[in-house]
Amino acid sequence: MCGALGGATDAIAGQRLNYGCKNGDVYGNVDRSTPVWTVFYRATGAAELVKVLVVEATF
């Protein structure tokens, strides 16, 4: 589960930190151009961003 972050945040590879999660963070915008949404995620302690599927979204 992740929550939106506001204000000045970190960036990696031109992707802004937008959501904080229990075990990592989401960078950049959610890609909603296909039926299966994706985001760039960095697990706590990891060095790289990984593209992952969005399993559930609540607004």
- pLDDT tens sequence across 32-42: 999 999 999 99
Over range 10-30, report the average pLDDT. Answer: 93
Buried b or exposed e, range 38-49, using 16+ CB within 10 angstroms:
ebbbbeeeeeeb
Residue whose C-alpha is closest to residue 13's, from 52, 43, 47, 37: 47
Three-point CA angle 25, 50, 17, nearest 5°: 30
In total, how many domains does the chain have?
1
Q: Report the pLDDT value the prediction gives residue 51, as an integer from 0 to 100.
A: 96
In a domain, 58, yes or no: no
**What range does the domain containing 24 cover?**
2-53
Q: Output the pTM of the full model.
A: 0.85
Q: For residues 11 and 17, is the Cβ–Cβ distance under 8 A? A: yes
Q: Which two tokens stand for residue 53?
A: 């599927």
In a domain, 43, yes or no: yes
